[in-house]
Chain A
């Protein structure tokens, strides 16, 4: 019995109080809500800007290509 008592008391101290539980839950919900609604677009816009500035490959329109790499194209 002593042992059980002592165990109960330990569990009791570890238990979260109802009030604290609700408080924590509310904060967590608010946190998740904020996180999901956070305007990541700001960051995304930055990323897109970076992408825009990343390498773009275009052939020069004024260059003249050859038919093949063999001799006699001249």
Chain B
């Protein structure tokens, strides 16, 4: 596609049809059907929700009104204060008089002082970057923390880190909000009788606790330390030292969501504890079995990058094919080329049927000679299984054929919620198809300490009940919330004489503690991490603790040393250095040389062990043991009742980020629901139970019962439901308390499959409803003449990979070809002259082949641009403030939908319709092609939003910082979080994407300093930087050397709503599905 400025009207008509002229001139006579091309026979429409698909009258009305009724709701004056004007003025003058008297002796000492002695590390206006490690979850990704005048304001991936490679997830992006959370615990608290809290000093807490630890150790009472997954070698050593100092201490390692079943299966199959990373970038065929590896299963930052690396439309042989078999409608499933819907508890039978086909029928692999293996799969048959479960046989044929043609380049991934027996069968399947060649043993995952088993936890609870456990220390964990209800942990804790809880914020476990000790966030802590054998990752504090908190390791170290006087701010820093001298930089001689290496390591944030500076695990490649498969006694079989899958939340993890408003407000990538969890069910299940979205249902597993709302989700398997964990926190800050429903209640310690999968659950309709808020229907609007707007206007354009390879021009060939006469007739002029941008012209390209709809870009945009949290109520009124949204369109049927994801943000149109209607010229065009906003000019008419065809402008109906949750965003600490390079907007102002203008300005400043031209590729927008799959490109469209110039010319390039001729500057690359020719659907 060539630059739009050089494109003649005739050329544009060759590519697009233009109906606007005819419609506006003669709208009563011309029918749409007579103008637009014939719709293809399949997938005639795209739809966003059932409300749209089934033409819900309310939805139609909303579309006609363009803006939501709620969004336009005026404040009720009657609901305002009853204070009379006279009384107000009287009190105002009286208080002014008092204030004037009171301030008569006022001398402002001032808070703003110049740097008389500027710290070396600070240059006003210029950011500093520190490499560190994110400890939001146990993946321990490398991060770069941006600070301005000492304040951390942004987190991005560390480009030098071998795992994250410059990318990071939404949780890490939003973590700065957790740092500045005004509801963090600020001082140690003593609760003598576990009820009345009293703030105490650290010294008093240390004295009292050390004495009791010594007593417990001498009297033989157990000291239980309940930690999360241990991923730090120094922390591991610290816990060992603690056990040495207090010999009755025992360390337990517990996480709500884990991959224990997968690891146990791996150990049985290969005799090694370390499940290796998989080289997904080398896989041409991927089969995902209820594994949301692009979403919440595993490290999605790595998985997404590796997956998208092999999704290149332009390089021959670099376009993988993803099959997904799942009961849920996951991000991975809806990005798959082929998706088969199957209840989760049938997956093991499916794997065994596949093995039967490959080993018994097709005799693939040497394992086809192993009679013991064959005897276990003889009773299964793929054809029978497919017909019984309504799976498309031709898709399975393609899968089998693909496995055969791509031996050694195919891989099967199973979801973490599946039981050990299924993982063992999947390991065997990978051996059969050569998937084992994609394991990367040289950089195996490291397990510092095994996770505590069910028996370990039961013993702990038993010790607590019997009085054997004298002290329980919660090492920044929240087991009262996230241990199964029937584990009896919370009840047993009440019987423990001394409970110490270390935590960043208030949680359920704090409420049962004698001492609640506030701990540092990852921004204030030292740490070393080793999740894989090939590198170490370092964490460094970029800011001194904001409150009177300590790092949890420092607390333990002080207790080990036995006196409160042993504490100092560098105690754990020195401890790590000593460990590294002894264990990592062992070949370095002398302190000076060590410190040189140490500072270099802190600069990099990562130390590669293969660089000869650290140990290497040197583990040999393990061989598969068929006994693991043949020895399975109990297999997963389909239950007769409702299947319940408990899924890891995309944003809240195990609930630890519940008080982070940015994460609560980030829409679920598929359902687009915010501020809630729910039971997702299929349309057929909803019909059979006579329920619809928002209705409350009661779900019962052998773990417990939970009442929560349902959401009817297209593409789900029947008779199953998926519920996110991490919601329904009862003790939390004001933001996250009582948001959603606590699905941990459904987990049983005695689950027959895994804690996250139940096959014999019950679901029954309950009374009442709970309104769920989904953002997907926001901004829908329709002119009556435009039926099927998404299809007709080609907002989504897609095809197949084969189609593209056969005819690269297939997209433009699809469009109607007009005669010269028709072209002339349809020619519509612009009311404005085309401005020719001779210098830089900024533009963006979004590759829909790589976009997985994960939402990381939205999180990054929120942090970079000071986007406020508005809350569920305002989101329900269509008043979201996100500058970006990911539109998710379905096509096909509700039972078997396909999905298309499309990031939508300000298109910075050359002929921006918003600019023409602004009465005060608050929104205007810059010479480098940006549709800019002058906030202090905006008077809030909202004409621009009304006129924006993409609906990407956001209006501040309130000062949302003041309006949300008692004005918590106005607290002093939150003001430190703001990016000073971006204006904080207030009530009555319109705002929208600026292409991260502040970053462009920084490049401009650098260009001036270096006496050179601005270089487009030097600017990275926040969304681009965050995109795990590198789907977003940004740069100078006028620079031929800029990558986006080439992408703009791609045959897959198109503009959304091009026919309305606003000339947008965001180019989309049409999505290609890698399906066989016979399966070509959805292309138009």
Residue positions of A touching B, CB distance < 8 A: 32, 35-36, 40, 54-60, 62-74
Q: Is the CB of A58 within 8 A of B121?
A: no
* Pairs A–B under 8 Å by Cβ, sample size 12: A32-B101, A36-B101, A57-B976, A59-B121, A59-B542, A60-B540, A66-B130, A68-B129, A70-B159, A72-B159, A74-B160, A74-B604
Q: Is the CB of B160 within 8 A of A58?
A: no
Binds A, one of B64-72, B146-154, B758-766, B1034-1042: B146-154
Closest to B98 in A: A35
Q: Is the CB of B159 within 8 A of A71?
A: yes
Instruction: Give which listed residue, A32, A63, A71, contacts B160 with CB less than 8 A.
Output: A71
Closest to A63 in B: B540
Is residue B317 within 8 Å, beta carbon to beta carbon, of the partner chain? no
Q: Which B934-992 residues sit within 8 Å CB-CB of chain A? A: 972-973, 976
Cα-based distance from A35 to B972 in the complex (angstroms) = 31
Is residue B768 within 8 Å, beta carbon to beta carbon, of the partner chain? no
Chain B positions 166 through 200: 1 when the CB is less than 8 Å from some CB of chain A, otherwise 0: 10000000000000000000000000000000000
Beyond A66-B144, A69-B146, A69-B156, 9 additional pairs, beta carbon < 8 A? A54-B972, A55-B972, A58-B150, A59-B122, A59-B544, A62-B570, A63-B540, A71-B159, A71-B166
Q: Is the CB of A65 within 8 A of B128?
A: yes
Is residue B114 within 8 Å, beta carbon to beta carbon, of the partner chain? no
Is residue B590 within 8 Å, beta carbon to beta carbon, of the partner chain? no
Cα-based distance from A59 to B523 in the complex (angstroms) = 10
Instruction: Give which listed residue, B546, B604, B605, contacts A55 with CB less than 8 A.
Output: B546
- The smallest C-beta distance from B746 to any residue of chain A, in angstroms, reads 41
Residues of A within 8 A of B166 (CB): 71
Instruction: Give which listed residue, A57, A62, A71, A73, contacts B543 with CB less than 8 A.
Output: A57
Q: Is the CB of A60 within 8 A of B541?
A: yes
Residues of A within 8 A of B131 (CB): 64, 66, 73
- The smallest C-beta distance from A12 to any residue of chain B, in angstroms, reads 29
Q: Which of B146, B147, B544, B972 has the most CB of A within 10 A?
A: B544
Residues of B within 8 A of A64 (CB): 130-131, 540, 599, 602-603
Residues of B within 8 A of A70 (CB): 159
Residues of B within 8 A of A35 (CB): 101
Known contacts A59-B121, A65-B121; is A73 also within 8 Å of B130 by CB? no
Instruction: Give which listed residue, B102, B105, B150, B602, contacts A59 with CB less than 8 A.
Output: B150
Residues of A within 8 A of B159 (CB): 69-73
Residues of A within 8 A of B606 (CB): 74
Instruction: Give which listed residue, B150, B160, B540, contacts A57 with CB less than 8 A.
Output: B150
Instruction: Give which listed residue, A57, A62, A66, A69, contacts B151 with CB less than 8 A.
Output: A57
Closest to B127 in A: A69
- The smallest C-beta distance from A6 to any residue of chain B, in angstroms, reads 30
Chain B positions 537 through 552: 1 when the CB is less than 8 Å from some CB of chain A, otherwise 0: 0001111101000000
Cα-based distance from A69 to B1002 in the complex (angstroms) = 13
Is residue B268 within 8 Å, beta carbon to beta carbon, of the partner chain? no
- The smallest C-beta distance from B309 to any residue of chain A, in angstroms, reads 16
Cα-based distance from A54 to B975 in the complex (angstroms) = 13
Cα-based distance from A67 to B727 in the complex (angstroms) = 40
Closest to B573 in A: A62
- The smallest C-beta distance from A40 to any residue of chain B, in angstroms, reads 6
Closest to B548 in A: A53
Cα-based distance from A58 to B524 in the complex (angstroms) = 11
Residues of B within 8 A of A60 (CB): 540-544
Cα-based distance from A36 to B159 in the complex (angstroms) = 62
Residues of B within 8 A of A65 (CB): 121, 128-130, 603
Q: How many residues does chain B have at the interface if contact means C-beta atoms less than 8 Å apart?
A: 38
Task: Please provide the 5 A-B residue pairs with the shortest distance between their CB atoms, ordered closest to farther.
Answer: A74-B160, A71-B159, A74-B604, A64-B602, A57-B150
Is residue B622 within 8 Å, beta carbon to beta carbon, of the partner chain? no
Closest to A58 in B: B544
Is residue B104 within 8 Å, beta carbon to beta carbon, of the partner chain? yes
Chain B positions 100 through 138: 1 when the CB is less than 8 Å from some CB of chain A, otherwise 0: 011011000000000000010110000011110000000
Q: Is the CB of B101 within 8 A of A73?
A: no
Chain B positions 697 through 715: 1 when the CB is less than 8 Å from some CB of chain A, otherwise 0: 0000000000000000000
- The smallest C-beta distance from A64 to any residue of chain B, in angstroms, reads 4
Q: Is the CB of A63 within 8 A of B144?
A: no
Cα-based distance from A63 to B131 in the complex (angstroms) = 9
- The smallest C-beta distance from B118 to any residue of chain A, in angstroms, reads 12
Cα-based distance from A59 to B543 in the complex (angstroms) = 4
Cα-based distance from A35 to B101 in the complex (angstroms) = 8
Residues of B within 8 A of A59 (CB): 119, 121-122, 128, 147, 150, 542-544
Instruction: Give which listed residue, B102, B122, B603, contacts A66 with CB less than 8 A.
Output: B603
- The smallest C-beta distance from B102 to any residue of chain A, in angstroms, reads 6
Closest to A32 in B: B101
Cα-based distance from A36 to B102 in the complex (angstroms) = 7
- The smallest C-beta distance from A39 to any residue of chain B, in angstroms, reads 10
Cα-based distance from A56 to B524 in the complex (angstroms) = 13
Q: Is the CB of A55 within 8 A of B973?
A: yes
Instruction: Give which listed residue, B105, B121, B146, contacts A40 with CB less than 8 A.
Output: B105
Residues of B within 8 A of A68 (CB): 129
Cα-based distance from A54 to B160 in the complex (angstroms) = 36
Cα-based distance from A73 to B128 in the complex (angstroms) = 13
Q: Is the CB of B156 within 8 A of A73?
A: no
Known contacts A54-B972, A57-B149; is A63 also within 8 Å of B102 by CB? no
Q: Is the CB of A66 within 8 A of B129?
A: yes
Cα-based distance from A55 to B144 in the complex (angstroms) = 23
Closest to B538 in A: A64
Q: Which of B146, B149, B540 has the most CB of A within 10 A?
A: B540
Residues of A within 8 A of B541 (CB): 60, 62-63
Q: Is the CB of B130 within 8 A of A63?
A: yes
Residues of B within 8 A of A57 (CB): 149-151, 543-544, 546, 976
Cα-based distance from A55 to B544 in the complex (angstroms) = 10
Residues of B within 8 A of A56 (CB): 544
Q: Which of A35, A36, A63, A68 has the most CB of B within 10 A?
A: A63
Residues of A within 8 A of B603 (CB): 64-66, 73-74
Cα-based distance from A63 to B102 in the complex (angstroms) = 45
Closest to A68 in B: B129
Cα-based distance from A70 to B127 in the complex (angstroms) = 13
Residues of B within 8 A of A66 (CB): 128-131, 144, 603
Cα-based distance from A67 to B160 in the complex (angstroms) = 13
- The smallest C-beta distance from A44 to any residue of chain B, in angstroms, reads 9
Cα-based distance from A8 to B231 in the complex (angstroms) = 94
Residues of B within 8 A of A36 (CB): 101, 104
Cα-based distance from A35 to B97 in the complex (angstroms) = 12
Closest to B544 in A: A58
- The smallest C-beta distance from A33 to any residue of chain B, in angstroms, reads 11
Residues of A within 8 A of B146 (CB): 69
- The smallest C-beta distance from B280 to any residue of chain A, in angstroms, reads 21
Q: Is the CB of B602 within 8 A of A72?
A: no
Closest to B599 in A: A64
Closest to B157 in A: A69
Cα-based distance from A69 to B1026 in the complex (angstroms) = 13
Chain B positions 278 through 291: 1 when the CB is less than 8 Å from some CB of chain A, otherwise 0: 00000000000000
Cα-based distance from A13 to B646 in the complex (angstroms) = 83
Q: Is the CB of A73 within 8 A of B604?
A: yes
Cα-based distance from A69 to B540 in the complex (angstroms) = 16
Q: Which B1016-1064 residues sit within 8 Å CB-CB of chain A? A: none
Closest to B101 in A: A35
Residues of B within 8 A of A71 (CB): 159-160, 166
Residues of A within 8 A of B129 (CB): 65-69
Residues of A within 8 A of B151 (CB): 57
Closest to A65 in B: B128
Known contacts A57-B543, A71-B159; is A63 also within 8 Å of B150 by CB? no
- The smallest C-beta distance from B1068 to any residue of chain A, in angstroms, reads 27
Cα-based distance from A71 to B443 in the complex (angstroms) = 22
Closest to A64 in B: B602
Q: Which of B131, B147, B542, B599 has the most CB of A within 10 A?
A: B131
Cα-based distance from A5 to B712 in the complex (angstroms) = 87
Residues of A within 8 A of B544 (CB): 56-60
Cα-based distance from A59 to B153 in the complex (angstroms) = 13
